[in-house]
Structure 1
């Protein structure tokens, strides 16, 4: 599987899957886009029934934002994936071993967009902010970029968390052990 070129059937199945997924996600985005908040509302916004493809759930504005983030992250990844696919197919360089990556990438972009949204929403906005305070255009743009640049996003998150979670520097006055070394847990 690794060194063989992708066949015509592989390419057609993959291209049709990716294009149908793009269309389905576009429909999901249009159907679940959150309406503007009601300025006269005094309490939490009630859930409203929304038709999403073959499903009709009752969704709150918050639920709609989650769906929009997931769908937009996948659309961003699809932009990258479709562009890469046509370049590799056009240059006759697509290997069969990469077909799975192309099929899975939209789901990775979707999940990554949700994680970044939760990190930003949980850490950078006030906890008192309601879903009505969130600009859906801004978070959608961020989700699309996260999906498009998922590899770079993961690398940047890794660098940030390696810095945040780096082991503490060892002090010079650690408690010595019987063998003359230092006890790793014996810092003062």
Structure 2
């Protein structure tokens, strides 16, 4: 009996239920975050200034300004148009004088060369106005004109006029001899070229950029260069 009692006492602790340690639950896993779309790293912050659509008042004022510019450029083109050159060998052809003509509100004495400069500038402005007026009615008709592009519409005619003058200088300096007279230049040809340059001023800038990158070393891209926007649905600048 004593042996049986001792055996029972030894088995009792073994039969007692052991205290189980509380299981450590794994923390809930967070769903993997979606990868950032390409191009967002280091993206340039976009200002909200001018992001709203143009109002009726903005469109009416802009259209009025563009039409006034078209009238001004057309008037200057007609007033500065050079007269037919005198016959070769005559006394008038041998001695060129500055004929006085009225340009808008001023009466100026202009040589034929200067008249050609004015004609080129006015024709370039008219060509740019053809571009911006067509773009304006398309974006107004599609109800997608935003106010941030109103400044571009106002400045584009002046950019077209200056670009036409620059291209005229380049062609006049490279395609004619130094002894050529302004009487040998057809004003219709230079006016047509200037109007086309004004109408496609961005293409003209790109062509000049390609030429100079071929001749000279291409400049490095600036860190502050504005990236091309992904959505150009309301962007009349690059595409229109």
TM-score normalized by the length of structure 2: 0.68
Partner of 1:140: 191
Q: Is 2:71 aligned against 1:71? A: no
How does 1:1-188 map onto structure 2 within 5 Å?
1-39=49-87, 40=90, 41-166=92-217
Distance (Å, rounded) in 2 between the aligned partners of 1:102 and 1:149:
14
Deviation at residue 42 of structure 1 after TM alignment: 4.1
Partner of 2:16: none
TM-score normalized by the length of structure 1: 0.86
Distance (Å, rounded) in 2 between the aligned partners of 1:76 and 1:45:
31
Partner of 1:171: none
Give the aligned CA root-mean-square deviation in angstroms.
Answer: 1.1
> Which has the larger displacement, 136-145 or 37-46?
37-46
Distance (Å, rounded) in 2 between the aligned partners of 1:61 and 1:135:
11
3-state SS, counterpart of residue 57 of structure 1: strand
Distance (Å, rounded) in 2 between the aligned partners of 1:130 and 1:8:
51
Alignment length (residue pairs): 167
**Deviation sequence 1:116-135 (CA, Å, 0-9, x none):** 00000011111111111111
Distance (Å, rounded) in 1 between the aligned partners of 2:93 and 2:126:
35
The structure number with the bigger radius of gyration is: 2
Deviation at residue 27 of structure 1 after TM alignment: 1.0
Structure 2: tracts of 5 or more residues without a match = 1-48, 219-240
> Which has the larger displacement, 98-107 or 39-48?
39-48
RCO greater where, 1 or 2, for CA within 8 Å and sep 6 or more? 1
Structure 1: tracts of 5 or more residues without a match = 168-188
Deviation at residue 34 of structure 1 after TM alignment: 0.5
Deviation at residue 2 of structure 1 after TM alignment: 2.9
**Deviation sequence 1:9-47 (CA, Å, 0-9, x none):** 111111000001101111111111001111123424211
